[in-house]
Amino acid sequence: MALAQNFGPQNLPVGSVVTSLNINAINQFNTNISSGGSFNWQDANVNLNNRYQLDTNSSIGLNLRDGYQDWSWSNPSGYGNKTPWKGIQSPGIGLSYFQKLDAGWSAGFAPTVDWVAENGVGTAGSATYGAIASAAKTYSKDLTIGLGTGVFRQVDKTRVFPFLLINWKINDKWTLNNPLPAGPSGGAGLELSYALANKWSIAGGAAYRSYRFRLSNSNYTPNGIGQNTFIPVFTRLSYSIDPSTNANLYLAANVGGRLSVTDVNGATPYNTNYQTGLAVAFSVTTRF
């Protein structure tokens, strides 16, 4: 749900429905762990969004999503040569409401729930839930600025984070905006993009991401909590296939990475940094 990129109800006919589909594939290449060993992971996820225009000033939305990460490890010596986790599933659902206010202001509210867990866990004890609230002001057709706050219970830990909302068309070529939707894993980040000729654009940006997930009962730390935290610094090459479909290729360096495992008693048997991880991603978004 691209809350960070939708500052309020769109200028659509009352009663209209806009549906968008976003498909992503990500690969982080083999990355060395400070405590010993290495890992790599692949992620595939899909997001289906529906937005209904209630009236000229308000709209509601429904987001359905699912994702899967597959992790491979080589000699993780800091964890007794055991594999910290393997496959991670992340189905979720979200709602959103946007309202135009006076003097160019708009507000949004988006509650969500995801079930993020290692294979075999199911929904019990794996829920990440909370909401994002935002307010933004449109100063001109080229500039909207706002603030948002996310409050989420990430499996067993509550996180509160503020973030900046911005959509600034600096000129015909340059735009500063938010590249990612804000959600349980972090805020929306910042991205500076440049419009090239013939439907192409290029951009660079960064964001903060932190994922927490329930581990399975068969894990080396049964029913524990896994966590992966990093800052993706990326460049993006995009092509507009048609007015409603975009394809994006990302190259990223995931810096400041940290992996951890927490057991049911709150102890941390595994807690280590990892070196900068190189990643590539491909994304397609279409609206219909």
CATH of residue 122's domain is 2.40.160
53-62, 77-86, 103-112, 124-133: least confident range: 77-86
- The pair of structure tokens assigned to 42 is 């692949």
151-159: average pLDDT: 94
In the chain, the amino acid numbered 60 is I
164-186: average pLDDT: 95
Phi-psi region of 84 (alpha: psi -120 to 50; beta: other; left: phi over 0): alpha
The answer on pLDDT for 4 being more than 50 is no
Residue 2: predicted pLDDT: 37
Q: How confident is the model at residue 10 (pLDDT cuts 50, 70, 90)?
A: low
Q: Which pLDDT tens digit goes with each residue over 63-121?
A: 999 999 999 999 998 888 899 999 999 999 999 999 999 999 999 999 999 999 999 89
How many domains are contained in the chain? 1
Question: Collapsing DSSP states into helix, strand and coil, what is residue 244?
Answer: coil
Query: Looking at the chain, which runs of residues are DSSP E strands?
Result: 17-32, 38-55, 58-74, 87-89, 92-100, 105-115, 117-118, 127-140, 143-154, 157-169, 174-177, 190-195, 200-206, 209-214, 225-242, 245-262, 270-274, 277-287
Residues linked to residue 154 through DSSP beta bridges, in sequence order: 128, 157
Question: Collapsing DSSP states into helix, strand and coil, what is residue 101?
Answer: coil
Domain that holds residue 262: 3-287
- Selection from 206, 218, 221 nearest residue 256 by Cα: 206
Q: Which pLDDT tens digit goes with each residue over 194-230?
A: 999 889 999 999 999 999 999 999 999 999 999 999 9
Residue 124: predicted pLDDT: 84
170-193: average pLDDT: 95
Residue 181: predicted pLDDT: 87
Question: Collapsing DSSP states into helix, strand and coil, what is residue 79?
Answer: helix
Residue 80: predicted pLDDT: 82
